[in-house]
Amino acid sequence: MPLPLLALAVAAFGIGTSEFVIMGLLPDVARDLAVSIPAAGMLVSAYALGVTIGAPIVAIAVANMPRKRALMSLIGVFIVGNLLCALAPNYGVLMIARIVTAFCHGAFFGIGSVVAAGLVAPNRRAQAIALMFTGLTLANVLGVPLGTALGQVVGWRAAFWAVTVIGGLAAAALAVFLPAKIDMQKANLVHEFAVLKNPQVLMVLGISVLASTSLFSTFTYITPILEDVTGFRPHAVTLVLLLFGLGLTVGSTLGGKLADWRLMPSLIAFLFAIVVILTVFAGTMHSAVPAMVTIFMWGVLAFAIVPPLQMLIVDRASHAPNLASTLNQGAFNLGNASGAWLGGMVIGAGAPLTTLPWVGVAAATAALALTLWSVQLGRRTQGVAVTG
């Protein structure tokens, strides 16, 4: 891995650990702060909404800032936000701290994706993006399980202290390895926001929202599912989260390679497979070994779609790549928030945890339908252009 991509991956590892570790600690946070599981789940939604709302705001703020300075500033916000999480005396302060942390997320991954793609040959851009996102997947392999275990033994706040340290290491890696001068286009914000008039760009954003909704409607509540439905003990849940994280790592690499080969066919195949695997999980979640196999496969597919979608938005918004890439991160996290909210609404209304995979199936089916519509619209547009 080239050293600049390594620096971006280290930062992605820290950001991913901060985002996802809360899911493995939902029961602990709920007990300590005297709130319900659905209320604790709203900490996931708050983070995701913070990314969604903060992404365009921060993108505007750093539009003409040198890329290295922008990325260093964003990782600084990340460090401060996690420090506030570790020190939060109550639920309200923790909620605010999560939102502060989230503000750096969308812009970092958006700008980082464009920087990563610009560091390599054109035929390896999706793989470069996937390499950066390897840090995010490794967060699920190492950061989340270890953070969950640490939080269960020492207390959930210890996980955020550890993430704060990771943030400091990430800042050092960015300072040392990122080039001082990174090519960038001079931003014209009016021109860049005009990209949202392109229906194909809007469709990619919609697919990202629905795909993430599918994942987080179930995965937000994976700990209570594994404990109450599958029958795992709390410490065994950590091992299952590790297995899911391994799947994410495999999926990110696979998605990057296939996206450089056949972008749209790969995306369609992955979305269809997600519909199938969540349908299977509705049955296998009741038994330990089948559940573990299904969860691993789900992890592979869940992140296999990330490099194709990120590459697709950069291609379709080539005149405004930084803004569009950042907005796509906001779209992913709007889906995260929507999924966590939908899952919380379902179980809050009295439905059993076993209902949640079907919410994910519905959202993934909608994402697949929108992708197929996008392909059809693209063919019609090309046909009109050729005829004209």
According to the model, what pLDDT value does residue 366 have? 96
The whole-angstrom separation of Cα 80 and Cα 77 is: 5
In the structure, how many helices (H) and strands (E) does the chain have? Answer: 18, 0
According to the model, what pLDDT value does residue 110 have? 79
CA distances from 52 to 7, 47, 123, 266, 332 (A): 24, 9, 30, 26, 8
For the whole model, what pTM was predicted?
0.76
Q: Is the dihedral of CA 189, 190, 196, 201 positive or negative?
A: negative
Q: Chain centroid to CA 339: how far?
A: 12
Tokens of 262: 């056949």
Q: What is the pLDDT of residues 77-114, one digit of tens each?
A: 999 999 999 999 999 999 999 998 888 887 888 788 77
CB of 352 closer than 8 Å to CB of 221 = no
Q: Which of 262, 322, 344, 384 is nearest to 41 (CA)?
A: 344
Given CATH 1.20.1250.20, say whether it is the number of domain 3-387.
yes
Question: Tokens 């399980």 correspond to what residue?
Answer: 145
CB count in 10 Å sphere of residue 284 = 18
Q: How many CA atoms lie within 13 A of 67 on its CB side?
A: 23
The stretches in the chain having pLDDT less than 50 are 384-388
The whole-angstrom separation of Cα 212 and Cα 47 is: 14
Could you give the 3-state DSSP secondary structure of residue 221? Answer: coil
Tokens of 90: 């109550």
Tokens of 151: 């939080």
357's CB contacts (< 8 A; 6+ apart) are 218, 278, 279, 281, 282, 285
According to the model, what pLDDT value does residue 386 have? 38
Q: Which helix (H) or strand (E) holds 153?
A: helix 144-154
Q: What is the pLDDT of residues 282-307, one digit of tens each?
A: 999 999 999 999 999 999 999 899 88
